[in-house]
Amino acid sequence: MFMAISTLTLPIESKIANRMKKYAEKRKQSVSSIVENFFTLVTASATQNETQEISPLVQSFSINGVDIPVDFDYKKELEAARNEKYL
């Protein structure tokens, strides 16, 4: 099966680009694969439920290498965590 590959150029501050490269190197991944995975996550979530936004906290999980299921409902998980803590 042939997959078309596109190139996308994004202007990024050199300080951030250097941090991205170090982050990718530590995880033995390419920056491209990390960025592709991030956008896959964001666009999959957006197409599933256009009205639900991903909180900055949940977005930070994907940046820190935690895989987030496409159907992850952070509001439901937050409520469950609060109930467990306070009840």
- For residue 2, being part of any structural domain is answered with no
pLDDT tens digits for range 28-48: 888 888 888 888 887 775 555
Q: CB–CB of 70/48 below 8 Å?
A: yes
Determine the Cα–Cα distance for residues 73 and 87; give it in Å rounded to an integer: 21
**Residue type (1 letter), 78:** L
Q: Domain span at residue 57? A: 19-86
pTM of the entire structure?
Answer: 0.47
Q: Count the domains in the chain.
A: 1
pLDDT tens digits for range 52-82: 566 676 666 655 566 667 777 778 888 888 8
- For residue 27, being part of any structural domain is answered with yes
Determine the Cα–Cα distance for residues 55 and 73; give it in Å rounded to an integer: 10
**Residue type (1 letter), 14:** S
- For residue 8, being part of any structural domain is answered with no
